[in-house]
Every structure is written in C-alpha cells, then in structure tokens.
C-alpha cells in the first residue's frame, strides 16, 4: 500500500470516527512529517504571545512544584488532567491533535470522550446558552459552541476558561463529574510510535493519574487543520 493511500485511510477514519489510534505508525517518519501528510500543521509561533512555542511539543508528567503555573502540570501535577479541548481559549482552536509516543507506560491512559456520547446531556444542561471567558487581564467572551467551515464545534476547558453565566457553570460541574469521566475511552500510548489523532472540535481528552514511577512517560504533540 502506498504512502498516499495510507494517509487517505487515516483521513477517512478520522472523518468518520473522530479519532484514530495507530500502533507503531511509520516509525521512520517524524511527527511533523506525518501531520503534514494528513493536514496543514498549525504554527503556534505565528500567534500572539506564542512566539517561543515550537510546532512540536514534548509532553511529560511533572510535579506541580516544578511546573509553570499556567500549564496543566502547574495546576494538576501528577493528578488526572480533566477532560478538555486543547487551546480552547483561542477564537478557533486547532481542529486536530496528533500525539505520538516516545517513551510510553501502559499504566497511564489518555482519555478520549466523543461529543456524541454526551451531546444530549450537554444540550439538556443549557449548552447552547453557555458562555465563558478566558483567564487573565485581557479576557474575552467565548461561546462553548462555535461554527467553522459550516461545522458545529465545541470548546471546553475548566482550567483556562471561566463560566460567565449559569449554563456554563452547570456544564463545568457536569464535565468535572465522575459520571462524565467514566464515559471516556482509555487509550494507552505505550510503545514507541503509537499515535493518537483526534478531532479537537468534537472530542474531549484528558489523562489519567500518573504514579511517581511513571514520570518517564514522554509524548510528542502537534496540531493541524
């Protein structure tokens, strides 16, 4: 099978399912090459206040005390990362995330929750009315639901977004509940090259708790549209 047909299969599955897990995928290629063959890589350094952030980021578990406060590890440390949208505080977050295992651990899970599993629940709790604001002095108001390329998309992040109205507060409590957490799918990135791609506009993701003897876990992450 040719390289182009492989990537077409990935695109099709991603379009139909919303996420793809590929064990030990194309070990000879870099994550940047893989993402570039599936879509257009998001250059985070092109965005205001992100000039020092590389396109490919290394993701490793860290204790709270040794992490930057504004990062997830600075808030949650080795505890579980709640379900969220990456870069939810952007006007239009990147559509896709690719995470690739460098050094894995089968005791740590990436949690994936497709929106369709909880769509009706969120609707019943006022999703269409929910408005949040970004953190910091230059905060701006954002709806949880937004449209891009005629598609309806959703954003959520309990750390970088703050509820503005009651509907958003109710959604926050729901998204942080064990009821919703238990609906997420566990995906283990444990072997070198194991790759997870997910639609960041329709799927939430998080991370299970990391024990102190699993801190050598290392992933690469890149965004693309």
Tens-digit pLDDT profile for the chain (225 aa)? Answer: 444 555 668 888 888 899 999 999 999 999 999 999 999 999 888 775 666 788 999 999 999 887 777 788 888 999 999 999 999 999 899 999 999 999 999 999 999 999 999 999 999 999 999 999 998 777 899 999 999 888 899 999 999 999 999 999 999 999 999 999 999 999 999 999 999 999 999 999 999 999 999 999 999 999 999
Per DSSP, the residues of the chain read: --HHHHHHHHHHHHHHHSEEEETT--TTS-HHHHHHHHSPBP-GGGSTT-TT--SSEEE----GGGS-TTSHHHHHTTSPEEEE-TTTTSSS--SEEEEEEEE--TT--EEEEEHHHHHHHHHHTTGGG-EEEESSTT--EEESEEEETTEEEE---TTTEEE-SHHHHHHHHHHTSHHHHTTSEEE---STT-EEEEETTTEEEEE----GGGTT-EEEEEEE-
Global model pTM greater than 0.85: yes
């Amino acid at each position: 099978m040719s390289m182009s047909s492989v990537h077409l299969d990935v695109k099709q599955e991603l379009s139909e399912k919303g996420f793809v897990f590929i064990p030990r995928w194309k070990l000879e290629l870099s994550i940047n090459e893989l993402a570039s063959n599936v879509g257009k890589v998001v250059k985070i350094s092109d965005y205001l206040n992100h000039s020092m952030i590389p396109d490919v980021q290394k993701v490793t578990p860290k204790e709270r005390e040794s992490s930057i406060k504004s990062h997830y590890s600075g808030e949650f440390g080795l505890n579980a990362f709640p379900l969220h949208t990456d870069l939810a505080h952007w006007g239009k977050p990147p559509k896709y995330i690719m995470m690739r295992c460098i050094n894995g651990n089968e005791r740590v899970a990436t949690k994936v929750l497709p929106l369709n599993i909880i769509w009706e629940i969120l609707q019943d709790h006022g999703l269409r009315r929910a408005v949040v604001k970004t953190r910091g002095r230059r905060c701006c108001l954002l709806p949880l639901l937004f449209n891009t390329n005629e598609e309806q998309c959703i954003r959520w992040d309990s750390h970088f977004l703050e509820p503005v109205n009651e509907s958003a507060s109710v959604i926050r409590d729901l998204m942080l509940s064990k009821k919703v957490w238990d609906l997420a799918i566990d995906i283990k990135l444990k072997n070198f090259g194991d790759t997870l791609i997910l639609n960041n506009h329709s799927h939430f993701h998080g991370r299970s708790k990391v024990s102190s003897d699993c801190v050598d876990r290392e992933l690469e992450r890149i965004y693309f549209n």
